[in-house]
Structure 1
Amino acid sequence: MHQMATRRALTFSIAAVAVAGLLAVGAPATAAPPSAPATNADARSGATAGAASAGSRWSPQPQATSVGSGGAVSSVDAVASRIGLEVLRHGGNAADAAVATAAALGVTEPYSAGIGGGGYFVHFDAKTGEVATIDGRETAPAAMPTDAFIDPATGQPYRFTPELVSSGVSVGVPGTLATWEAALDRFGSKRLPKMLAPAIAVAAAGFTVDETFRSQTLDNKARFAAFPDTAKLFLPGGDAPVVGTTFRNPDLAKTLALIALRGTDAFYEGRLAREIADVVQNPRKDPASPLPAPPGTLTAADLAAYEVVEQAPTHVEYRGLDVYGMAPSSSGGTTVGESLNILENHDLSGETPEASAQSLHLFLEATARAFADRNAYVGDPAFVDVPTETLLSQDFADARDCTIDPSAASVRPVAPGALDAVGCATADAAEPTDTENVSTTHLSVVDKWGNAVAYTLTIEQTGGSAMTVPGRGFLLNNELTDFSTVYNEADPNRIEPGKRPRSSMSPTIVLDGDEVRYVLGSPGGATIITTVTQILLNRIDLGMTLPEAVAAPRASQRNAAVTPAEPEFIDAYGGALGAYGHSFTPSGDRFTSASQIGAAAAIEVAPDGTMTAAAEPVRRGGGTGLVVRPRR
């Protein structure tokens, strides 16, 4: 099941793996040697006291957009994008670069991704023209009861925060490493040890702390402090790492080196699997902390039994393009697809302020209906009869579109559509509570042969469950909070043992004939769906370039009476859309004061082969899009 790497009779030290990785994929062209460790650095983990030099090997500066040829990588992190680019430069394909980039993100973005989580991998094979997907979503333990989110002491549901989000009961069986193994086995040209080596080097040598890393740590300081192993790693001396210092994670380097040597069975079986299960069942909490941290039921047997699901993508046609996404257990592909099918009925334009307002009004109305249908019908298809074909049909979208008034906002929440709809018929269904969090990360890759990957990976909220596996250097996810809190037989996202909670992750590949045109995705919980839809609307319909489409202010209508929107969106469009009857509230997640929606990473390939790698210029500190051969 989990293919073992060839065992060698040698000591596979961190240093050996790091050197092998740098030799294999090459160091960044502008790199200088890593900064020397500060004299008072923690011997095991955390941030050093000395500032890293500006030219440190693992301290490249963000570069939001690059244009050129030969391959492209886009992610939220400069270090990770650089590593992916070097894989492409040295002959790796899109799948190879995606795995290496993802592994690096698990080091530099440990609060958003890592081997303690899961995700969705969408791949386009330029030779065969096939789009395929890997569902590496976390699963509920086999012994998880349907009332797992009910406090036995009170008989009432645990509060989402602080009880559920920082707990063993929220931890699902991780799928990230199994995803990497499956992706390389099916699509890659390199072996997993070689693709892990750069991440091991970064974990061992360290990377420069930026404002985003420090602020995310401070936002979670109370949660992290409740778990001594997490506090030791991320709160050295009781404070978040200081901007400009070097953060090292040798425990994670050792863990990744172990996996490089022994294969993914080193994670899913044996000692490490038992350690993960023990932490979930017996959270290592500071007795002085008021955090409840209820235990979970995950076992070593659950880890050994984990398998990814390889399945066909979702597909819709939009403006003559083929849009492929992730099928359930993700709701991303069906909900983005339905939204686009509704918008297909309208001529959209951004040529004038009035035309932009009309287009955005229709965008908000389309996503409201798509979310009503998502909530009513989408769950893990292994447990729920999901009407994927109907949700993606143009006939169903037309029936939903006929409930939209082109000149006035609907009274929301709107009802879901009837699956056997004739005309504008709707169905009755309760609106489940949306508890999906806004963290996660995304990467996009296109190689010189035209293969492409859109990969969204996560540990759920920023900092996941806040529980670090002792001595292993990685956080465990809290993905099971994506299930509905209260069990309801009519709810497709109800808790069931072995089930995958519904997700909004929306890795998307858009083809023009048999060639890649766009690759994109974003973090942001349920706002991922609206972010991906809005970027496509901006680029395809409203006349923006890809960098403009990514940078433009966002709103996220998810079938609510009031639409969360970035302040810049409200300033630009609030008045005009108010005339349609829309009302807005400044966006912001439940854990921080951040007002930004998403942090997209996208690539466009022009008909002449020119590649534009576009990441966020501002959101989440700014991302990095790189091409192999930049255009002069």
Structure 2
Amino acid sequence: MKRRTYRLGALAGAFALVTTTMATPATAGPLSPPDRDPVAVGRGGAVVTVDPDATSAGMEMLRSGGNAVDAAIAAAAALGVTEPYSAGFGGGGYFVYYEAATGRVHTLDGRETAPAAMGEDAFLEDGAPIPFAEAVTSGLSVGVPGTPATWEHALDEWGRKRPATVLRPAIELAEEGFVVDETFRSQTRDNAERFADFPATAELFLPGGAPPEVGTVLRNPDLADTYRAFAREGAAVLEGDIGADIVATVTDPPVAPDATREVRAGLMTTDDLAAYELVERAPTHVDYRGLDVYGMPPSSSGGSTVGEALNILSTFDPAELSQEEIRHVTLEASKLAYADRNVHIGDPDHVDVPLERLLSPEYAAQRACHIDTASVLAAPVAPGDLDAGAGCAEEGAPAAENREGPSTTHLVTADRWGNVVSYTLTIEQTGGSAITVPGRGFILNNELTDFDFQVSASGAGAANLPGPGKRPRSSMAPTIVLRDGEPWLALGSPGGATIITTVLQVLVDRVDAGRSLPEAVAAPRLSQRNAERVQAEPAFFGTPDEKALSELGHLFSQTAEIGAVAALEYLPDGRIQAVAEPERRGGGDAQVLRPSWR
């Protein structure tokens, strides 16, 4: 498999100085957050994010001659201002890029890495896992950030504009402030107890000691300065004062004097920051109903698990299935793919990942023979026998799913030249570790809690144990689909382990069930991850689907919300249909360069 690495600072010479501009004071008093439009149709390019300010930042690049990569990084930087509990400079992510000039799909693995001092027992005390909540809110959970290297490389390799230009909308947004909406306020309120224990976090996100009110303006001038430094120095900025501040914060978390929370120190050093390597990997690829589906390979499990499930589904003819049967076999395929994912997927630079076998049609046929359209497989199911030539052989005990945060954010962009980006970025939990780097304006991630803390009693879980320099397994699944060699769909979602099932459901609804892309995005979601019960959104209950699937034997548990998709589709006449969530997370925002509904 192709693997290219890039050391921090290697590309910094391309980053020119940014000119500081004075911020415009925001109007006092309650304001209305920007309008959101979940669907836009037109030509010339598109940007879709969960936030109108971020979408507008990306569109500013397209209007001024930038390409999809410029737009993606501009939007991502703006999300670091307006969605700081989901993604930001202190996190990482996965970047999938279709390059129109070559017809190639590229992927960047910007996943955070464990410090060199982290061993397999890092999250154990007296031989037992430390409480998960205590692991999250700690320096121990903080991985070496990969976002700066991702932005640097993407802009240097494929962008058209200088970093200072691309970062300018986010810098202005941080300086001038953004209008707080209900989603931001509720996320702050949910984390207020954690945030209050860290003075730098409380000062920034709990003005006056409480979550900011809807309609007020929140500014982050420290983050504006951080972005200016990045625009000057590139990812090498983490080898200077900002990096030193990150390490000091991780190894000696600045806790409020009256806090009673136990906050464990982390293991990161400045050498860990300097040694970080971005990896360009070959994308996963499966042929589904004649479509080329490209996704993110390990260290993410997104591309492999979506791909395996699609391969299993390929053994069924949707024309011979009812709508309920399509949903049923999708849940069963997801169950089987997750059984394999939980055992086999880890950082390929540290463990042997049998990716070729997992994504082979032969293995899909072996797994598909377990599925009966008239009954349900009892979960959890065992992983498949990778060495079996045929039949329905299973091997070993199922591995338990680890706990991934439900936060993260996703964006898609496209430009006038036909380039497309699908980018998922994160700091893990909503609010990450809750620890803001003093004077720098960003929260640090808690990505290392994505590791399995120990091997299970059955021996499963070894592929995703902590280790020096290792990337924890992720479920992020930025996806690009080609039809006849040209871009057709791009999509992805936040949602921790539910990301995979969200992307799978939208793809199946669009390709097999005949739904339009807006219908597929808005439909009630289900998530089956090799568990006894299927997670389902409230709107699913009381529907014919629920009745039919329940009669087959599926059991359901209700969860408030699953995912928050950003997607786009190229229509037959060449126009782009850009699609965001109509309601989840308060609704997203889709814009196109030249709107045209016909």
User: Partner letter of residue 493 of structure 1?
Assistant: N
Residue 94 of structure 1 corresponds to 68
2:569 matched residue in structure 1: 604
Q: Deviations over 1:570-609 (max 9, x none)?
A: 332222110010000012xxxxxxx110000000002321
Q: In the TM superposition, what are the counterparts of 1:383-398 in structure 2 within 5 Å? A: 383-398=350-365
SS at match of 1:308: strand
SS in 1 for 2:463: coil
- Matched with 2:418 is 450
Cα distance change of structure 1 residues 622 and 418 upon mapping to structure 2, 3 Å threshold = same
Aligned to 1:225, which of 196, 203, 208? 196
| 1:416 counterpart = 2:383 | yes
Does the Cα contact within 8 Å between 1:71 and 1:628 map onto a contact in 2? Answer: yes
How many residues align? The count is: 584
Superposed, 1:359-370 pairs within 5 Å as 359-370=326-337
Letter in 2 for 1:341: N
1:4 aligns with 2:28: no
Query: 2:498 — aligned with what?
Result: 527
- How much does 1:290 deviate? 2.6
Aligned mates of 1:528, 1:35 — CA distance in 2: 39
- In the other structure, the counterpart of 2:278 is 308
| 1:26 paired residue number | none
Matched residue, 1:44: none
Task: Using the TM superposition, give the Cα deviation of residue 543 of structure 1 relative to its aligned residue in structure 2, in angstroms.
Answer: 1.0
Amino acid at match of 2:577: T
**1:279-313 residue CA offsets vs partner (Å, 9 max, x unmatched):** 11111112322321111101111001111000110
Contact 1:574 1:583 in 2 (8 A): no
Deviation at 1:157, TM superposition (A): 1.3
Query: Among residues 571, 579, 584, which one is paired with 2:551 in the alignment?
Result: 579
1:319-347 deviations in Å (ceiling 9; x for gaps): 11000000000000000001111111112
Which residue is 2:316 aligned to? 346
- In structure 2, distance between residues paired with 1:326 and 1:176: 16
Secondary structure at the aligned position of 1:285 is classed as coil
Encode CA deviations 1:489-548: one digit per residue, 9 max, x unaligned.
752101111100000000000001221000000000000000000000111111111111
Tell me the secondary structure at the aligned position of residue 263 of structure 1. Answer: helix
Query: How many Å separate the matches in 1 of 2:375 and 2:531?
Result: 15
Q: Confirm or deny: 8 A CA contact 2:200 2:437 kept in the other structure.
A: yes
Q: Which amino acid in the other structure matches residue 393 of structure 1? A: S
Q: Distance in 1 between the 2:128 and 2:391 partners? A: 42
Task: Measure the CA separation in 2 of the matches of 1:516 and 1:192.
Answer: 27
SS of equivalent residue, structure 1 residue 197: helix
Tell me the residue number matched to 1:471: 439
> Which whole-Å deviations, capped at 9, do the CAs of 1:162-209 have from their partners, x for residues lacking one?
x01100000000000100111112211112221111100000001110
Task: List per-residue Cα deviations over 1:335-370 (Å, max 9, x = no partner).
Answer: 0001111111112269xxx82211111010000000
Provide the C-alpha distance between the structure 2 equivalents of 1:493 and 1:405, rounded to a whole number of angstroms.
31
Give matches, 1:199-278, under 5 Å.
Answer: 199-266=170-237, 268-278=238-248
Aligned-pair CA distance for 1:228: 1.2
Q: Is the 8 A contact 1:140 1:497 kept in 2?
A: yes
Question: What is residue 492 of structure 1 aligned with on the other side?
Answer: 463
- The whole-number CA distance in structure 2 between the counterparts of 1:485 and 1:532 is 27
Task: List per-residue Cα deviations over 1:66-113 (Å, max 9, x = no partner).
Answer: 011110111111111111112112111111111111111111100000
Native 8 Å contact 2:140 2:264 kept in 1? yes
Tell me, what secondary structure is at the counterpart of 2:129? Answer: coil
- Deviation at residue 37 of structure 1 after TM alignment: 4.9
What is the CA-CA distance between 1:122 and the residue it aligns to?
0.4
- 1:159 aligned partner: 131
Task: Kindly indicate whether residue 564 of structure 2 is the aligned counterpart of residue 564 of structure 1.
Answer: no
Q: TM-score, normalised by structure 1?
A: 0.90
In structure 2, the partner of 1:15 is: 21
Amino acid at match of 2:142: V
Q: Which residue of 2 aligns with 1:51?
A: 30
Cα separation, 1, equivalents of 2:415 and 2:486: 12
Check whether the contact 2:15–2:163 (CA below 8 A) recurs between aligned residues: no
| Match status 1:623 vs 2:588 | yes
Could you tell me how far apart the structure 2 residues matched to 1:337 and 1:355 are? 23
TM-score of the aligned structures, taking structure 2 as reference length: 0.95
Question: Which residue in 2 is equivalent to 1:148?
Answer: 122
Once residues 191 and 342 of structure 2 are traced to their aligned partners in structure 1, the CA distance between those partners, rounded to angstroms, is 29
Determine the structure 1 residue equivalent to 2:37: 63
Q: Tell me if structure 1 keeps the 8 A contact 2:345–2:464.
A: yes
**1:409-428: per-residue Cα shift (whole Å, max 9, x none)?**
11000011111122111110
**Distance (Å, rounded) in 2 between the aligned partners of 1:15 and 1:188:** 23
Q: Is the 8 A contact 1:328 1:380 kept in 2?
A: yes
Cα distance in 2 for partners of 1:311, 1:533 equals 22
In the alignment, which residue of structure 2 is the partner of 1:434?
402
3-state SS of the aligned residue for 2:464?
Answer: coil
Whole-angstrom CA distance in 2 between matches of 1:368 and 1:487 = 21
* Aligned with 1:538 (options 484, 509, 520): 509
Contact 1:349 1:359 in 2 (8 A): no
- Distance of 2:588 and 2:36 partners within structure 1: 6
In the alignment, the residues of structure 1 paired with residue 15 and residue 166 of structure 2 have an alpha-carbon distance, to the nearest angstrom, of 17
Q: Which residue number in structure 1 is paired with residue 482 of structure 2?
A: 511
The one-letter amino acid of 1:4's match is A
Partner of 1:109 in structure 2? 83
- Does structure 2 conserve the Cα–Cα contact (< 8 Å) formed by 1:376 and 1:429? no
CA offsets 1:47-77 (integer angstroms, 9 cap, x no match): xxx223x4xxxx5311100011110111111
Q: Which residue of 1 aligns with 2:3?
A: none
Whole-Å separation in 2 of the counterparts to 1:341 and 1:499: 29
Letter paired with 2:75: T
Identity %: 57
Using the alignment, how far apart are the partners of 1:146 and 1:605 within structure 2?
46
Distance 1:619 1:579, change over 3 A: same
Q: Tell me by how many angstroms 1:487 deviates.
A: 4.7
Distance 2:410 2:63 in 1: 21
Q: Which amino acid letter does the alignment assign opposite residue 302 of structure 1?
A: D
For 1:625, the aligned partner's letter is A
Q: Can you list the C-alpha shifts for 1:456-494, whole angstroms capped at 9, x where unaligned?
A: 000001000000000111000000000001157752101
- Structure 1, residues 421-462: CA drift from partner, whole Å, max 9, x if none? 221111103413421111000000111111101000000010
Helix, strand or coil for the counterpart of 2:552? coil
Residue identity matched to 2:246: I
Superposition RMSD in Å? 1.6
Query: Which secondary structure does the structure 2 equivalent of 1:15 belong to?
Result: coil
* Contiguous gaps of at least 5 residues in structure 1: 19-33, 39-49, 588-594
Distance 2:421 2:382 in 1: 35
2:383–2:398: 8 Å Cα contact kept in structure 1? no
Matched, 1:283 2:219: no
Q: How far has the Cα of 1:6 moved from its partner?
A: 6.5
SS at match of 2:574: coil
Equivalent position to 1:82, from 14, 34, 56: 56
**Distance across 1 between alignment mates of 2:63 and 2:318:** 39
Whether the 8 Å CA contact 1:126–1:514 is kept in 2: the answer is no
CA contact (8 A) 1:377 1:386 kept: yes
User: Does the alignment pair 1:483 with 2:451?
Assistant: yes
- Corresponding position of 1:45: none
Distance 2:358 2:162 in 1: 38
SS at match of 1:51: coil
2:578 maps to what in 1?
613
